[in-house]
């Protein structure tokens, strides 16, 4: 003989309890579904071997008046150029691959600046990228942003800070057409500033540039 337990609670309380249990069940299922791709992404994280992920690039550009803070430095139609030109070469190394979705790089650059002044600059800038775009089969595209340190051979009036050591930032978009093999082209905005942390000073500079990069593997 089978006995069914009788619930003496009012109908409203039974309905609320049922809805609470259902919501809890749905929430747990949602968390489980969301955790699956996150777990798969985490399982795909790998450290790039030392002998892989190297690239050598070179770019050239000219300083602009517009600032990153105002956002106008990202708008080519608003640029007003200064009498400062730059040529630069940089050695890039891929460090970590987050399942092909994102990567961490570091890059060491040496630059020559001339025009109103003449001096050299060296900067080391780690960066993080986004690697997945729907057109990657045609043009393998990478968008990245990096923060590091920069040093100039003299305190330049371009930076208007009186300092040689400054924070270095790069904003870059790189495209590697399938037909180009190991070669790619990139556009970059190189930003130097005190960032409010270098002796609490002010000043900075922005230089957009175009370049090409050779990937060794």
User: At residue 121, does pLDDT exceed 50?
Assistant: yes
Q: Which residues, at least 6 apart from 206, have a Cβ–Cβ distance to it below 8 Å?
A: 63, 64, 66, 67, 68, 73, 189, 190, 191, 192
Average pLDDT over residues 182-199: 86
**Separation of alpha carbons 207 and 63, rounded Å:** 4
**Separation of alpha carbons 184 and 57, rounded Å:** 9
38-42, 118-122, 125-129, range with the lowest pLDDT: 38-42
> Over pLDDT 70: what percentage of the chain?
77
Residue with the bigger pLDDT between 145 and 31: it is 145
The three-state secondary structure class of 6 is coil
**Separation of alpha carbons 147 and 80, rounded Å:** 25
Please give the structure tokens belonging to residue 83.
Answer: 């009498």
**Separation of alpha carbons 127 and 150, rounded Å:** 14
Average pLDDT over residues 48-66: 96
pLDDT given for residue 195 in this prediction:
74
Please give the structure tokens belonging to residue 99.
Answer: 């399942």
User: At residue 26, does pLDDT exceed 50?
Assistant: no
User: At residue 9, does pLDDT exceed 60?
Assistant: no
**Separation of alpha carbons 163 and 157, rounded Å:** 10
pLDDT tens track for 128-152: 999 999 999 999 999 999 999 999 9
User: At residue 3, does pLDDT exceed 60?
Assistant: no
pLDDT given for residue 140 in this prediction:
96
């Amino acid at each position: 003989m089978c006995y069914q337990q009788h619930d003496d609670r009012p109908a409203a309380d039974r309905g609320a309890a049922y809805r609470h249990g259902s919501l809890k069940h749905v929430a747990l299922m949602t968390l489980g579904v969301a955790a699956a791709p996150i777990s798969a992404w985490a399982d795909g994280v790998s450290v790039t071997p030392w002998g892989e992920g190297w690239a050598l690039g070179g770019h050239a550009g000219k300083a602009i008046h517009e600032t990153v803070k105002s956002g106008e430095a990202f708008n080519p139609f608003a640029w007003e150029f200064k009498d400062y030109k730059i040529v630069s070469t940089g050695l890039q190394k891929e460090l970590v691959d987050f399942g092909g979705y994102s990567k961490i790089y570091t890059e060491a650059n040496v630059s020559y600046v001339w025009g109103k002044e003449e001096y050299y600059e060296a900067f080391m800038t780690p960066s993080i990228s986004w690697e997945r775009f729907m057109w990657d089969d045609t043009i393998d595209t990478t968008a990245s942003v990096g923060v590091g340190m920069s040093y100039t051979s003299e305190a330049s009036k371009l930076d208007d800070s009186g300092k040689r050591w400054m924070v270095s930032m790069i904003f870059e978009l790189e495209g590697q057409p399938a037909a180009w093999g190991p070669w790619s082209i990139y556009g970059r905005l190189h930003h130097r500033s005190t960032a409010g942390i270098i002796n609490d000073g002010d000043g900075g500079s922005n230089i957009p540039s175009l370049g090409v990069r050779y990937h060794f593997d």
